[in-house]
């Protein structure tokens, strides 16, 4: 966990944990939701992408590649750019324009 936290330094936003009264009442316990939708790429997946790039070290100097039309592709593209690593994201034909543009930005 500490290595993953260090891998995200300077990129990861601290997102709040928000309590849910409705879920807490239903569960009979306090329920908190981590608002990772407020992360730079809209999901928690940026954390994993940064941690993997850090774990690879010089092993990813030539670049990283993924196939995704969703949050993973966006996260890896963002993480790679933030760490100066070349990245190629293969997106299936027919993917939404919004997803394609988000991975390209």
Mean pLDDT of 86-100: 88
| CATH C-level class of 2-104 | alpha beta
Could you tell me the residue ranges of all domains in the chain? 2-104
Integer CA distances (angstroms), 34 to 17, 39, 49, in order: 4, 10, 18
Nearest to 68 by CA among 39, 27, 25, 102: 102
pLDDT at 89: 94
pLDDT 10s digits, 30-85: 999 999 999 999 999 999 999 999 999 999 999 999 999 889 999 999 999 999 99
pLDDT at 105: 65
In angstroms, rounded to a whole number, what is the distance separating the alpha carbons of residues 55 and 41? 21
pLDDT of residue 98: 83
Question: Per-residue pLDDT for 103 more than 80?
Answer: no
pLDDT digits (tens, 9 = 90+) for 7-33: 999 999 999 999 999 999 999 999 999
Q: What is the pLDDT, as a whole number, of residue 44?
A: 95
């Amino acid at each position: 966990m500490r290595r993953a936290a260090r891998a995200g330094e300077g990129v990861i936003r601290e997102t709040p944990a928000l309590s849910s009264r409705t879920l807490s009442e239903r569960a009979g316990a306090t329920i908190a939701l981590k608002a990772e939708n407020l992360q730079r790429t809209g999901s928690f997946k940026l954390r994993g992408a940064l941690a993997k790039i850090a774990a690879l070290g010089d092993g990813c100097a030539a670049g990283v590649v993924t196939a995704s039309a969703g949050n993973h592709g966006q996260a890896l593209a963002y993480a790679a750019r933030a760490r100066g690593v070349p990245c190629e994201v293969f997106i299936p034909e027919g993917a939404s324009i919004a997803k394609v543009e988000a991975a390209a930005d």
